[in-house]
Structure 1
């Protein structure tokens, strides 16, 4: 009887182990099926039909999709070079030089973004911010260097933003994919709480997409149109009327200046009249006090 009981216990243990193994195998099979479906959904153009949220995708699947997608984007993005320049040119006639500059700008299909004029006692300055198509930038700079005036300074720089542009483009594409998945999940949301959470995720993604698209537009604008800051400078000389001032005129100016100084001194002294009235009183009091002291 004892042997029979031991045998029954062993059979029960073996049966439980088999059932646990079968359950584990079924769970693994279900999990593998889910992961396989996620892989197909992410790699397929009809990924928007999937109802699985992005955070349930396995790390391996996500890394595989990221490694494949960016490679295609990098191949299609050309070099992104931003060119900027600063020039200062001394000219003999500001108006004539500005007319030449406007003609050069027109010939190179550029335009003036900002213009500023300054006129002082010693010089005249025109400041121009010019936007020119990328392919015409060098020709524009060379035209200014040759025929406008004497170049006092020139600084040209190039900035390669290809890596930044590629990175922003890849992240933007991934965000758009997740946005479509969230929109599909919103259609199948069962509770109000789920709907609110999904809508919040959609709003955040839309904001991030707007920022990324704005950054790409800004880079494209700077790449397609280079910027040149141009300063036209003219140094003033003394006019003949000012340079031929004679001794008589200078003597008269000196007399006038001296008289004005004298009048200012007299007026300053007069303004001190309260003190002049106080001095005799102080002298009288001091003498009276001294006389009493002697007695």
Structure 2
């Protein structure tokens, strides 16, 4: 009996040890499978297109405060000048000016010539690229004639240009908004009001753009007012004013002086009225003094 029980007991112990090992192996296998499943799920997961798109829309709709939009405008300097030069001959000076203008890519905007008894005057308005303004002034100062006067000025319009540019961009933005509103307008009254706002904005935009074009033109091309002056030398042989003309001028000046004197006396008429009164009072006072 003991011989039978002892082998059975050993067999039961062996079976128990095997079942525990199998159980442990199965648990380990399940844990490994779960880790693999989790890793594969994590690897295979990607956000849906709708979620990504919406996130991007939110990000795009939010203002980017770290990178604000700035308008950078270069310096806008308007240069103007005035020169008066005394020359020996107007024609010769004109030829010299033409050569100087060609070298500096300048052109004549307007020209006015005046010839009288005492002098010849040629007034020329010149436009020149701003980078050639100073060389042009130096060329006129050397060799053309004797400089009688020179005035150069610079005007910084950067602030004005920047202000007009910013306002112009804002007006264009509002104009597009009004146009969008016009497309969705449902009543005639709303359409008329929106069209009136659009018309007003378009006029303001035209004015602003015209102002910017004017400033750019004055900045890119400087303006110089040049006056050439030639004094005429008088002599008995060349003078156009003879004795007869001088005699007539003297009579005219004398008559004008007499008229001016007469009118000046007339202007004192209140004082002239007082003279008889003063004389009458003086005579009466004198008679009374003699009687006494």
Q: Do both share a fold (TM > 0.5)?
A: yes
Q: Which has the higher helix share?
A: 1
Partner deviation per Cα, 1:101-126 (whole Å, 9 max, x = no partner): 11101110000000000001110000
Match runs of 1:22-171 below 5 Å: 40=61, 68-69=68-69, 72-73=70-71, 75=72, 77-171=73-167
Residue 192 of structure 1, CA deviation: 1.1
- Once the two structures are TM-superposed, the CA of residue 199 in structure 1 deviates from its matched residue by 0.7
- Which residue number in structure 1 is paired with residue 198 of structure 2? 202
Structure 2, gaps ≥5 residues long:
1-57, 252-292
Matched, 1:219 2:215: yes
Q: Is 2:190 the partner of 1:191?
A: no
Name the residue aligned to 2:287. Answer: none
Comparing 154-163 with 178-187, which one deviates more in the overlay? 178-187
Distance (whole Å) between structure 1 residues aligned to residue 118 and residue 228 of structure 2: 14
Could you say if the C-alpha distance between residues 134 and 242 of structure 1 is closer, same or farther in structure 2, counting changes exceeding 3 Å? closer
User: Secondary structure of 1:147's match?
Assistant: coil
State which structure, 1 or 2, has the greater radius of gyration over its C-alpha atoms: 2
Q: CA deviation at 1:68?
A: 4.3
| Alignment of 1:234 onto 2:230 | yes
Quickly say closer, same or farther: Cα 1:222–1:242, change in 2 above 3 A: closer
Residue 240 of structure 1 and its aligned partner are, at CA, apart by 5.9
> Using the alignment, how far apart are the partners of 2:118 and 2:152 within structure 1?
28
Q: Deviations over 1:77-130 (max 9, x none)?
A: 100000000000000111101110111011100000000000011100000000
Structure 1: gaps of 5 or more residues: 1-36, 45-63, 244-248, 262-295
SS at match of 2:111: strand
> Alpha-carbon deviation of 1:191?
1.1
**How much has 1:40 moved relative to structure 2?**
3.7
Normalising to structure 1: TM-score of the pair? 0.59
State the TM-score, normalizing by the size of structure 2.
0.60
